[in-house]
Chain A
Amino acid sequence: AQSVAQPEDQVNVAEGNPLTVKCTYSVSGNPYLFWYVQYPNRGLQFLLKYITGDNLVKGSYGFEAEFNKSQTSFHLKKPSALVSDSALYFCAVRDSSNYQLIWGAGTKLIIKP
């Protein structure tokens, strides 16, 4: 069965510091991995994805994520956090032979000035 875990309900980071939002997954085949961000009263916005190739993926707004097959992880990172990065972040995974996207419960990211 496919599953996604985001172990932290909330992550607090000071502005200007690096941030990491964690995600681990379980799929039976090759994983397609995604990060989305949800701002209050707005829809989900795509940040980045890993399908194949380079393990370090760069996305929107300066975010990047590293695919680690041995640890089945896909952590979201940013070198220097902005207050405007405060939002709810979701990790999602899909098996390469499947259309169903499985989502984590979300991590609330709070960036303090």
Chain B
Amino acid sequence: DAGVTQSPTHLIKTRGQQVTLRCSPKSGHDTVSWYQQALGQGPQFIFQYYEEEERQRGNFPDRFSGHQFPNYSSELNVNALLLGDSALYLCASSLAVGTGGSEQYFGPGTRLTVT
């Protein structure tokens, strides 16, 4: 049973560029959440997707956008990259049980460096 997978593992971009990160959820899961984790900090919630719709969004600017596909996989897009966007980006999948009682399973993350 494959767990959550993310690609790429590492990415180096220049300020002002755009980036797309990809995530495949754990088999059987239908909900995908994205997080940003800066060095030495806890993850920060970016948004969650369910049934191909953004269900909730954290305190991130519109430069951060996403998409969920019919097979439940997801993409995170970041436009006009800033140096401060350098972080580990984590994808987590879960089952849409009620409003949040199910635990999330995390991928290994994508390390984004903006120069």
Instruction: Write the residues of chain A forming the contact surface with B, with a CB cutoff of 8 angstroms.
Output: 4, 32, 34, 36, 42-46, 49, 51, 90, 92, 94, 96-106
Contacts and interface: CB of A to CB of B under 8 A. Distances in A.
Given A99-B48, A100-B45, A103-B44, A46 B104 contact: yes
Q: How large is the interface on B (under 10, 10 to 19, 20 to 34, 35 or more residues)?
A: 20 to 34
Interface of B is mostly: loop
Given A45-B106, A46-B105, A100-B58, A32 B42 contact: no
A103 B101 contact: no
B99 A97 contact: yes
Contact of B103 (A34, A98, A106): A34
Contact of B42 (A45, A51, A105): A105
Interface centre among A32, A43, A97, A102 (most CB of B within 10 A): A43
Contacts of A106: 40-42
B107 A96 contact: no
A101 B94 CA distance: 12
B104 A32 contact: no
B56 A99 contact: yes
